[in-house]
Amino acid sequence: MKNIIAIYPGTFDPLTNGHLDLIERGSKIFDKLIVAILRNPEKEPLFSLAERQEMMEAMTRRYGNVEIDVFEGLLVEFAMKHKAQAVLRGIRAVSDYEYELQMAMMNRRLDPELETVFMLPAEKYSYVSSRLIKEIFQLGGSVRGLVPDLVEDRLRVKVNGPEPGAPGAEKAGKK
Ligand code: PNS
C-alpha cells in the first residue's frame, strides 16, 4: 500500500480556522501531513517563528498523523528531504487560483515528481485570511470564530500588551 506524505506549507501568521479546516481535511486523505511553517524574516511577521510553531502544535495535537516543522529555502527541497510526494494548498476563491497555479507550476518545474493537491476549506472560512485577521484585530474588530481562541488571546496580548496581573504585565506597563 502507498504511504503518502504531504506537506502543507505556509506562513501561518497567524493560524486561522481556515488553515485548521484544511489540516483536518488533509489529515484524512494523506497518511502523514507535515505542516511546514516558513521562516520569513524579511516579511516581518507579527508572530515569531517560535510563536507560530507553538500555536500550531497546540491546535493540531489531536491529529495523530500531523507533524509540525519549520523551513526556509526551497519548498521542493524540504519536500524531498521528508520524502513527501505531495504539497497541499487551499484555494478559497478564484482570486487565489492564479498565484497558486504559478507556484504549483514552478514547483513542478523544480521537481516533476512532487504533486500539488488543492483542497477547498469550508465555505464559512472562504473569506478568511491571516492578513485580514491581523488588520481587523489591530483596528479593534472582532475575529471571534475565525481563529482558534488561543490565537485570539495571543493577538490580544500582541496588540494590547499582557493583561494586568499576567506574567510580564508589570514590565510591559513600565515601557
Ligand atoms: O501562506 P503563504 O504565505 O501563502 O505560503 C507561501 C509559501 C510558504 C507556500 C511559499 O512562499 C513558499 O513555498 N516559499 C518557500 C520558497 C519557495 O520554494 N519558493 C518557490 C515557490 S514556487
Residue pair 14/151 in contact by the 8 Å Cβ criterion = yes
Most confident of 44-48, 95-99, 114-118: 114-118
Task: Write out pLDDT tens, residues 69-115.
Answer: 999 999 999 999 999 999 999 999 999 999 999 999 999 999 999 99
Hey, whose CA ends up nearest to atom 11 of ligand 1? Answer: 10
Render pLDDT for 142-160 as a digit per residue (tens, 0 to 9).
999 999 999 999 999 998 8
**Rounded-to-integer distance, Cα 130 and Cα 166, Å:** 26
- % of the chain beyond a pLDDT of 90: 86
Task: Indicate which atom in ligand 1 lies nearest the CA of residue 78.
Answer: 18
Residue 171: pLDDT band with limits 50, 70, 90: low
43 catalytic, yes or no? Answer: yes
Ligand 1 site, residue 11, Cβ cutoff 6 A: yes
Residue 4 scores a pLDDT above 50: yes
Question: Is-above-0.85 flag for pTM?
Answer: yes
Between the CA of 150 and the centroid of ligand 1 the distance, in Å, is: 25
Residue 11 corresponds to which cell in the numbers above?
Answer: 506562513
The yes-or-no verdict on residue 56 having pLDDT over 50 is yes
Instruction: Exactly one of 32, 52, 89, 130 is catalytic; name it.
Output: 130
Residue 42 has what pLDDT? 80
pLDDT-derived band at 168 (thresholds 50, 70, 90) equals low
The three-point CA angle 40-45-51 to 5° equals 95
Q: Do residues 33 and 153 touch, judged by C-beta distance below 8 A?
A: no
Spatial distance between the Cα atoms of 36 and 86, rounded to a whole number of angstroms: 13
18 lines ligand 1 (CB under 6 A): no
Confidence band of 167 (pLDDT split at 50, 70, 90) = low
Confirm whether 82 is a catalytic residue.
no
Dist. CA 124 → ligand 1 center (Å): 25
